[in-house]
Amino acid sequence: MAAWKLPRHPGCFVCGDRGENPLTLGLSFVLEDGTVRASFVPQKEHAGYPGIVHGGILVSLLDEASTWAASAAAQAFCVTRSLEVEFLRPARVGKTLEIRAWVAGREGRFLCVQATVEDSGGEVLARSKGSFFPRFRREWTRLVGPDERRGCHGAQGGEDRKAG
Protein backbone atom coordinates (compact mmCIF):
# COMPACT_ATOMS: atom_id res chain seq x y z
CA MET A 1 0.00 0.00 0.00
CA ALA A 2 1.27 3.46 -0.87
CA ALA A 3 1.94 6.00 1.84
CA TRP A 4 -1.09 8.08 2.82
CA LYS A 5 -0.59 11.58 4.19
CA LEU A 6 -2.96 11.96 7.11
CA PRO A 7 -4.88 15.22 7.39
CA ARG A 8 -4.04 17.91 9.89
CA HIS A 9 -6.56 18.35 12.67
CA PRO A 10 -7.43 22.06 12.87
CA GLY A 11 -5.98 23.78 15.93
CA CYS A 12 -4.10 20.71 17.23
CA PHE A 13 -0.98 21.40 19.31
CA VAL A 14 0.99 18.63 17.56
CA CYS A 15 -0.38 18.34 13.99
CA GLY A 16 -2.30 21.58 13.57
CA ASP A 17 -1.99 24.29 10.98
CA ARG A 18 0.17 27.26 12.00
CA GLY A 19 -2.47 29.59 10.55
CA GLU A 20 -4.96 28.38 13.16
CA ASN A 21 -2.55 27.66 16.00
CA PRO A 22 0.76 29.54 15.90
CA LEU A 23 2.09 27.36 18.75
CA THR A 24 1.54 24.05 16.96
CA LEU A 25 4.50 21.72 16.47
CA GLY A 26 3.20 21.35 12.89
CA LEU A 27 3.91 17.65 12.37
CA SER A 28 2.67 15.93 9.25
CA PHE A 29 1.85 12.23 9.75
CA VAL A 30 1.95 9.50 7.10
CA LEU A 31 0.39 6.03 7.27
CA GLU A 32 2.24 3.27 5.44
CA ASP A 33 2.11 -0.50 5.90
CA GLY A 34 0.18 -0.16 9.17
CA THR A 35 2.61 2.30 10.75
CA VAL A 36 2.05 6.00 11.34
CA ARG A 37 5.23 8.05 11.13
CA ALA A 38 6.45 11.63 11.23
CA SER A 39 9.70 13.55 11.61
CA PHE A 40 10.30 16.48 13.92
CA VAL A 41 13.26 18.75 14.64
CA PRO A 42 12.80 20.21 18.13
CA GLN A 43 13.92 23.78 18.69
CA LYS A 44 15.30 25.50 21.80
CA GLU A 45 11.71 26.43 22.76
CA HIS A 46 11.03 22.69 23.22
CA ALA A 47 13.83 22.18 25.77
CA GLY A 48 13.47 21.29 29.43
CA TYR A 49 17.17 21.48 30.26
CA PRO A 50 19.50 23.30 27.86
CA GLY A 51 19.86 21.22 24.70
CA ILE A 52 17.53 18.44 25.89
CA VAL A 53 13.93 18.12 24.67
CA HIS A 54 11.32 18.38 27.43
CA GLY A 55 9.72 15.04 28.30
CA GLY A 56 6.26 16.56 27.87
CA ILE A 57 7.01 17.27 24.21
CA LEU A 58 8.09 13.64 23.71
CA VAL A 59 4.90 12.41 25.39
CA SER A 60 2.85 14.66 23.09
CA LEU A 61 4.60 13.19 20.04
CA LEU A 62 4.00 9.60 21.20
CA ASP A 63 0.36 10.28 22.10
CA GLU A 64 -0.41 12.03 18.81
CA ALA A 65 1.17 9.33 16.64
CA SER A 66 -0.61 6.65 18.68
CA THR A 67 -3.95 8.41 18.35
CA TRP A 68 -3.53 8.60 14.56
CA ALA A 69 -2.59 4.90 14.37
CA ALA A 70 -5.63 3.90 16.43
CA SER A 71 -7.92 6.28 14.52
CA ALA A 72 -6.81 4.99 11.11
CA ALA A 73 -7.38 1.42 12.28
CA ALA A 74 -10.81 2.19 13.74
CA GLN A 75 -11.89 4.63 11.01
CA ALA A 76 -12.99 6.90 13.88
CA PHE A 77 -11.04 9.48 15.87
CA CYS A 78 -9.86 7.87 19.08
CA VAL A 79 -9.27 9.28 22.55
CA THR A 80 -6.50 8.17 24.88
CA ARG A 81 -7.55 5.92 27.74
CA SER A 82 -4.03 5.38 29.09
CA LEU A 83 -0.47 5.97 27.98
CA GLU A 84 2.64 4.50 29.61
CA VAL A 85 5.91 6.14 28.56
CA GLU A 86 9.47 5.03 29.08
CA PHE A 87 12.30 7.54 28.54
CA LEU A 88 15.48 5.70 27.50
CA ARG A 89 17.90 8.40 26.33
CA PRO A 90 17.81 12.20 26.06
CA ALA A 91 16.44 13.67 22.85
CA ARG A 92 18.58 16.57 21.65
CA VAL A 93 17.37 19.96 20.49
CA GLY A 94 18.11 20.55 16.81
CA LYS A 95 18.39 16.85 15.96
CA THR A 96 15.78 15.08 13.81
CA LEU A 97 13.40 12.80 15.69
CA GLU A 98 11.50 10.00 13.96
CA ILE A 99 8.13 9.12 15.48
CA ARG A 100 6.40 5.80 14.73
CA ALA A 101 3.20 4.19 16.03
CA TRP A 102 1.29 1.00 15.21
CA VAL A 103 -1.69 -0.94 16.50
CA ALA A 104 -0.38 -3.96 18.41
CA GLY A 105 -3.74 -5.50 19.31
CA ARG A 106 -7.14 -5.05 20.89
CA GLU A 107 -8.63 -5.46 24.35
CA GLY A 108 -12.40 -5.38 24.00
CA ARG A 109 -13.39 -1.95 22.71
CA PHE A 110 -9.88 -0.53 23.15
CA LEU A 111 -7.03 -0.52 20.61
CA CYS A 112 -3.56 -1.21 22.01
CA VAL A 113 -0.92 0.96 20.36
CA GLN A 114 2.86 1.02 20.66
CA ALA A 115 5.02 3.96 19.61
CA THR A 116 8.63 5.09 19.56
CA VAL A 117 10.64 8.28 19.23
CA GLU A 118 14.00 7.52 17.62
CA ASP A 119 17.02 9.57 16.66
CA SER A 120 18.13 9.72 13.02
CA GLY A 121 20.34 6.65 13.58
CA GLY A 122 17.38 4.53 14.69
CA GLU A 123 18.17 4.52 18.42
CA VAL A 124 14.99 4.48 20.50
CA LEU A 125 14.92 7.49 22.83
CA ALA A 126 11.41 7.01 24.21
CA ARG A 127 8.65 4.47 23.77
CA SER A 128 5.05 4.07 24.80
CA LYS A 129 2.21 1.61 25.12
CA GLY A 130 -1.30 2.95 25.20
CA SER A 131 -4.95 2.11 25.10
CA PHE A 132 -7.25 4.11 22.80
CA PHE A 133 -11.02 4.27 22.46
CA PRO A 134 -12.75 4.89 19.10
CA ARG A 135 -15.05 7.85 19.77
CA PHE A 136 -15.74 10.20 16.85
CA ARG A 137 -16.68 8.47 13.57
CA ARG A 138 -18.47 11.49 12.05
CA GLU A 139 -15.48 13.76 12.75
CA TRP A 140 -13.21 11.18 11.04
CA THR A 141 -15.51 11.10 8.00
CA ARG A 142 -15.72 14.91 7.92
CA LEU A 143 -11.94 15.37 8.00
CA VAL A 144 -10.81 12.29 6.05
CA GLY A 145 -13.73 11.69 3.71
CA PRO A 146 -16.50 9.10 3.55
CA ASP A 147 -14.75 6.79 1.08
CA GLU A 148 -11.34 6.66 2.77
CA ARG A 149 -10.62 3.12 4.01
CA ARG A 150 -6.92 2.86 4.73
CA GLY A 151 -6.90 1.62 8.33
CA CYS A 152 -3.98 -0.14 9.99
CA HIS A 153 -6.12 -3.21 10.68
CA GLY A 154 -9.74 -4.21 10.43
CA ALA A 155 -10.64 -2.63 13.77
CA GLN A 156 -14.18 -1.43 14.25
CA GLY A 157 -14.79 2.27 14.80
CA GLY A 158 -16.62 4.10 17.51
CA GLU A 159 -19.74 6.15 17.61
CA ASP A 160 -20.33 9.80 18.14
CA ARG A 161 -21.91 10.78 21.41
CA LYS A 162 -22.97 14.13 22.72
CA ALA A 163 -20.84 15.32 25.59
CA GLY A 164 -22.77 15.96 28.69
Please indicate, yes or no, if residue 85 is contained in any of the structural domains.
Answer: yes
Please indicate, yes or no, if residue 153 is contained in any of the structural domains.
Answer: no
pTM of the model: 0.83
Total domains, the chain: 1
**4-5, strands of its sheet edge to edge:** 4-5, 30-32, 35-40, 97-107, 110-119, 124-136, 77-87
Please indicate, yes or no, if residue 133 is contained in any of the structural domains.
Answer: yes
Q: Distance between CA atoms of 155 and 152, rounded to whole angstroms? A: 8
pLDDT at residue 143, as a whole number: 67
Please indicate, yes or no, if residue 68 is contained in any of the structural domains.
Answer: yes
Please give the share of the chain, as a percent, with pLDDT higher than 90. Answer: 57
Residue 15 pLDDT more than 60? yes
Please indicate, yes or no, if residue 46 is contained in any of the structural domains.
Answer: yes
Please indicate, yes or no, if residue 48 is contained in any of the structural domains.
Answer: yes
Q: Cβ(151)–Cβ(75) under 8 Å?
A: yes
**Parent domain of 62:** 33-144
In CATH, what number is assigned to the domain containing residue 48?
A: 3.10.129.10
Please indicate, yes or no, if residue 26 is contained in any of the structural domains.
Answer: no
pLDDT at residue 1, as a whole number: 59
Calculate the average pLDDT of the chain.
84
Please indicate, yes or no, if residue 63 is contained in any of the structural domains.
Answer: yes
Sign of CA dihedral 9, 31, 54, 112: positive
